[in-house]
Every structure is written in structure tokens, then in C-alpha cells.
């Protein structure tokens, strides 16, 4: 089964062609970073308008790269939420039109399920449910018990900021550009992670929930202090990153001790973080757990993961009534 995937939930206009949820024939994305950078964050109105300008050419590009006409495909999968409403509607409208015109089934996909199913793309040995997943993106941080395809349960989530949001907001305090996560990761690689002890909020010892708003505030107060203004930015970046990663690894370890699944998947944009990848790998090695982190290009927003989720969840929608939902529940 070969699906066209479309993803426009935030600021990347993406399309992909994926076979059986695993083999990627094409995955293309047009980043809008340059349009939002000068505002220091994503401007929803601009994102929606850019999607309108880019969507047709992006889908065309994916089909051409795959060397397949729409007629040869088996359906269209599109992100229907959660995300920015003005961005989501562009992808959903395009997907409905393409599916209707080509007479193919349409699949509406939850963006976060997409991040999780990125673990199946181009993977020789994909994870077998049940497994534990940590989804860490710009808008979400959650631990998911994947009992079976279509039976996903959130067992812990952030009570305030998402991990990616903490990276982006703290990066702004350090004067790094937008998006802040990758810039913070690069700067941290030149710094001393033990230079400053920023708080590791674990909530209570047995809680699987996260809280990241305190660390950003604590970095802000530190930077405003005498010690902070003299501190090297790379040391601040490395120490902040170490604190966030400690919490993510600690909570994942706690969830794993409870569930005892053989495999742990880390997904979402923050899974691109070099320290998170190495610390998780070290922990998994000690515990004898199989750790699966998608390649970088499938960690951040992409359309291949949307086609993969649609394949495994296999819930066709009505091409006329499918709607975008900015607050789509998990
Ligand atoms: O999953 P994603 O592409 O979009 C959402 O659905 O949110 O995640 C974007 C987030 C941003 O907050 C970005 O700063 C963060 O992922 N990110 C990183 C890294 N690469 C992207 N955070 C830390 N280290 C990175 N290397
Ligand atoms: Zn995302």
C-alpha cells in the first residue's frame, strides 16, 4: 500500500510517498524558517499563507521524486491536528481535493501519532508493540504506552512548557536565533555541562509528568545576576541542556521500570538533540533495553511519518467531511 502523506500543522510544508508505512520513496519539505526568524518565532498568519503558496509544488515534487503518478497510489494521508488552524486547513483542503479527484481513500492523522510512527520509517527492525514512546516536540512532551496499533495511552505529560518550548525560550534568553533548539545543541557542545546546577524538576518521585517552565525562569534569573552576566554562554547552554535531558531520561527510566516493555522509542523534534540521544543510548545499554530513535530527518516535522501512521492505524475518513482540528485529542 503506497500513500501520499501531507503535513502542514506548523511551519513546514511537507509531502511524502511511503510504501507499507516503512519504505520512503520521497519525503520533501520546504522550511519557512527564513520567513519567521526575524520575528523570533512562528507567526501563524504568515505560516498559513506560505502553505497556500507552497502546497501544490511540494506535493508535485514528492510525486516526481517518487516517480509515481497519483493514479498509482493507494490513498492520501494528512495531518488533521493538533496544530495551527490556519496551517492545518491548507493541508487538509489539499488532501481532500487530491483524494476526491483521484478517487482514493483519505486518512486523517494525529500529528503526534505521526511522530511516533516515524520509528518505522526505513527501519530494518521496526518496534513491535507493546513498547514505550517518549514524544518530545515544540508543543508536546509525553510518555506513551503503545499497547497495539490504535491503542496508544498517555501515561505522563508536561504540566506547562514542552521540552522544545523550553529549548526555544531559553535559546532566546541567550540571544540565539530561531528555532532555538538546534542552535542551543550546537552551542552546548562547546560548553561544560557541569558548570551550573539548574533545577531538575521531577515533581514527585513517582510522577511520570514533566514541568519545564521553572528551568527557563531559573536561567533567566541566573543571567540577570552578577555571576550569570560573567558566565560563558556555552557553559549556560550546556548546563541547561543537561538539566532538561536528565529529567527526560529520568522519567523515561521510571516509566520503563513500570511497564517493562522491551523497546523504547524517542520521537519528535527534540529527539534530534545530541545529548538526549547519547544519554538515552547509555541508559538503554545499562538496562538492556532496545532504544530506537528515528534518523534526524524523520524526527522533526515531515510528511513520511504521517503516511506511516495512516498505514498502521488504517482508519479511512470521509473525504467530504474530514475537518482540521487544532486541539485534536491524542
Ligand atoms: O517536532 P517538531 O519538528 O515540531 C513540533 O511538532 O513541535 O519539533 C520542533 C522542536 C522545536 O522546539 C525545536 O527547537 C526542537 O524541536 N529541536 C531541538 C533540536 N532540534 C529541534 N531541540 C533540542 N535540540 C535539537 N537538536
Ligand atoms: Zn511535530
What is 243-274 written as a DSSP string?
HHHHHHHHHHHHHHHHH--SEEEEESGGGG-H
Q: What is the pLDDT of residue 297?
A: 94
* Rounded Cα distance, 288 and 314, in Å: 32
| 67-90 residue pLDDT tens | 999 999 999 999 999 999 999 999
Instruction: Specify the CATH architecture of the domain 129-294.
Output: 2-Layer Sandwich (3.30)
Residues with CB under 5 A from ligand 2 (ion): 137, 301
- pTM beyond 0.75: yes
Could you tell me which residues are beta bridge partners of residue 263? 290
The protein residue whose alpha carbon is closest to atom 20 in ligand 1 is 182
Cell 541542556, residue located: 241
144-180: pLDDT as tens digits: 999 999 999 999 999 999 999 999 999 999 999 888 9
CA angle 47, 50, 54 (to 5 degrees): 135
Enter the DSSP assignment of 198. Answer: -
Pocket-testing residue among 269, 272, 298, 328, ligand 1, by greatest number of atoms within 8 A of Cβ: 269
Task: State the helix-helix crossing angle for 85-102 and 44-66, rounded to 10 degrees.
Answer: 30
DSSP 158: B
pLDDT greater than 90 at residue 319: no
244/274 Cα distance (integer angstroms): 12
Going by C-beta distance under 8 Å and a sequence separation of 6 or more, which residues neighbour residue 323?
A: 80, 92
What's the confidence (pLDDT) of residue 31? 82
Let me know how long the chain is: 330
Q: Using one digit for the tens of pLDDT, what is the confidence trace for 274-304?
A: 999 999 999 999 999 999 999 999 999 999 9
Q: Where are the CATH 3.30.420.40 domain residues in the chain?
A: 2-118+299-317, 129-294
- Average pLDDT rounded to a whole number, residues 197-219: 94
pLDDT the model gives residue 42: 87
**Residues 6 or more apart from 49 whose CB is under 8 A from it?**
none
The crossing angle, in degrees rounded to 10, of helices 274-287 and 180-188 is 70
How much is the pLDDT for 38?
83
pLDDT band at 241 (very low <50, low <70, confident <90, very high): very high
The yes-or-no verdict on residue 109 having pLDDT over 90 is yes
Fold of 2-118+299-317: Nucleotidyltransferase; domain 5 (3.30.420)
Instruction: Write the CB contacts of 36 (distance below 8 Å, at least 6 apart in sequence).
Output: 11, 42, 43, 46, 47, 178
What's residue 32's pLDDT?
A: 83
**pLDDT for residue 39:** 85
pLDDT at 245: 98
Q: How far is the CA of 219 from the centre of ligand 2 (A)?
A: 25
Name all residues whose Cβ lies below 6 A of ligand 1: 10, 137-139, 164, 167-168, 179-182, 185, 268-270, 272-273, 300-301
Q: How far is ligand 2, taken at its centre, from the CA of residue 115, in Å?
A: 6
Instruction: Name the closest-CA residue to atom 14, ligand 1.
Output: 181
Amino acid at each position: 500500500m503506497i500513500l501520499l502523506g501531507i503535513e502542514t500543522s506548523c511551519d513546514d510544508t511537507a509531502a511524502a510517498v511511503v510504501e507499507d508505512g516503512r519504505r520512503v520513496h520521497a519525503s520533501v519539505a520546504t522550511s519557512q524558517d527564513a520567513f519567521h526568524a526575524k520575528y523570533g518565532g512562528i507567526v501563524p498568519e504568515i505560516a498559513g499563507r506560505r502553505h497556500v503558496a507552497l502546497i501544490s509544488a511540494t506535493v508535485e515534487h514528492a510525486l516526481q521524486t517518487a516517480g509515481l503518478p497519483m493514479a498509482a497510489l493507494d490513498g492520501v494521508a494528512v495531518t488533521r491536528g493538533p496544530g495551527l488552524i490556519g496551517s492545518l486547513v491548507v493541508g487538509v483542503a489539499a488532501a481532500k481535493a487530491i483524494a476526491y479527484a483521484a478517487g482514493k481513500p483519505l486518512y486523517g492523522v494525529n500529528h503526534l501519532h505521526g511522530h511516533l510512527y516515524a520509528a518505522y520509517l526505513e527501519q530494518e527492525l521496526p518496534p513491535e508493540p507493546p513498547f514505550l514512546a517518549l514524544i518530545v516536540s515544540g508543543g508536546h512532551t509525553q510518555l506513551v504506552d503503545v499497547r497495539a496499533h490504535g491503542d496508544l495511552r498517555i501515561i505522563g505529560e508536561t504540566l506547562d512548557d514542552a521540552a522544545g518550548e523550553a529549548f526555544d525560550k531559553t535559546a532566546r534568553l541567550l540571544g540565539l536565533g530561531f528555532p532555538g533548539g538546534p542552535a542551543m545543541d550546537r552551542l552546548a557542545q562547546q560548553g561544560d555541562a557541569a558548570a551550573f546546577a539548574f533545577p531538575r524538576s521531577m515533581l514527585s518521585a513517582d510522577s511520570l509528568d514533566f514541568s519545564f517552565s521553572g528551568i527557563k525562569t531559573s536561567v533567566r534569573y541566573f543571567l540577570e545576576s552578577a555571576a550569570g552576566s560573567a558566565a560563558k554562554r556555552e557553559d549556560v547552554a550546556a548546563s541547561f541542556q543537561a538539566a532538561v535531558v536528565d529529567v527526560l531520561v529520568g522519567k523515561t527510566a521510571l516509566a520503563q521500570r513500570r511497564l517493562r516493555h522491551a523497546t523504547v522509542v524517542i520521537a519528535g523534534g527534540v529527539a534530534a538533540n545530541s545529548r538526549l540521544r547519547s544519554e538515552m543510548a547509555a541508559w538503554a545499554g545499562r538496562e538492556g533495553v532496545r532504544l530506537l530513535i528515528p534518523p534526524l530527518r524523520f524526527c522533526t516535522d515531515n510528511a513520511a511519518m504521517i503516511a506511516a501512521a495512516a498505514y498502521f492505524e488504517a482508519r479511512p475518513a470521509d473525504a467530504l467531511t474530514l475537518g482540521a482540528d487544532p486541539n485534536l485529542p491524542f
